[in-house]
Structure 1
Amino acid sequence: MPEPDKSLGRKILGFFVKEEETGTVSTGTPPVASAASGPRPATNSTDPGPSTVASASPSGGNVPTSAPSGAVDSKFAEHFANVLAQNNPPGPDYFEFRETLRSLSNLGLPEDKQYQAAWASFKALGGPADIGVLTNTANQYIAVLNKDQTAFGKSVEAALAERVGGLQTEQKRLQMENENLAKQLIEIQKQIDANTNRLTAIGGEVNEQSAKITQNQKNYESTFAHFTDQIKADIAKMAQYLK
Structure 2
Amino acid sequence: MPEPDKSLGRKILSFFVKEEETSNVSTGTPPAASTAPVAPRPAPSAPDQSVGTSGPASIAPVSASSGTIDPKFAEHFANVLAQNNPPGPDYFEFRETLRSLSSLDLPEDKQYQAAWASFKALGGPGDATTLTNTANQYITALNKDRDAFGKSVEAALTERIGGLQNEQKRLQTENDSLAKQLVEIQKQIDANKNRLSAIAGDINEQSAKITQNRQNYDSTFAHFTDQIKGDIAKMTQYLK
Which of 113, 118, 142 is the aligned partner of 2:115?
A: 118
State the one-letter code of the partner of 1:38.
P
TM-score by length of 2: 0.59
Residues 1:160 and 2:157 aligned together: yes
1:55-85 deviations in whole A, cap 9, x for unaligned? xxxxxxxxxxx96431111111111111111
TM-score by length of 1: 0.58
For residue 128 of structure 1, report the CA deviation from its aligned partner.
1.0
Decide which structure has the larger Cα Rg and report it: 1
Distance 1:15 1:21 in 2: 12
Contact 1:96 1:122 in 2 (8 A): yes
Q: Percent identity?
A: 77
Q: Mean Cα displacement is larger for which, 37-46 or 87-96?
A: 37-46
Structure whose residues are more often strand by fraction: 1
Residues 1:170 and 2:162 aligned together: no
State the one-letter code of the partner of 2:143.
N
1:197-236 deviations in whole A, cap 9, x for unaligned? xxxxxxxxxxxxxxxxxxxxxxxxxxxxxxxxxxxxxxxx
| Greater relative contact order structure (CA < 8 Å, 6+ sep) | 2
Contact 1:51 1:69 in 2 (8 A): no
For residue 124 of structure 1, report the CA deviation from its aligned partner.
1.4
Classify 1:3/1:103 alpha carbon distance in 2 versus 1 (closer, same or farther; 3 Å).
same
Residues 1:39 and 2:31 aligned together: yes
Distance 2:23 2:171 in 1: 41
In structure 2, list runs of 5 or more residues that go unmatched: 51-62, 187-240
Distance 1:22 1:85 in 2: 17
- 1:183-198 equivalent positions in 2, closer than 5 A: 183-184=180-181
For residue 177 of structure 1, report the CA deviation from its aligned partner.
3.1
Classify 1:117/1:179 alpha carbon distance in 2 versus 1 (closer, same or farther; 3 Å).
farther
Distance 1:93 1:168 in 2: 50
Matched with 2:106 is 109
Q: Secondary structure at the match of 2:103?
A: coil
For residue 52 of structure 1, report the CA deviation from its aligned partner.
7.4
For residue 175 of structure 1, report the CA deviation from its aligned partner.
2.8
Contact 1:53 1:67 in 2 (8 A): no
State the one-letter code of the partner of 2:147.
T
Residues 1:18 and 2:24 aligned together: no
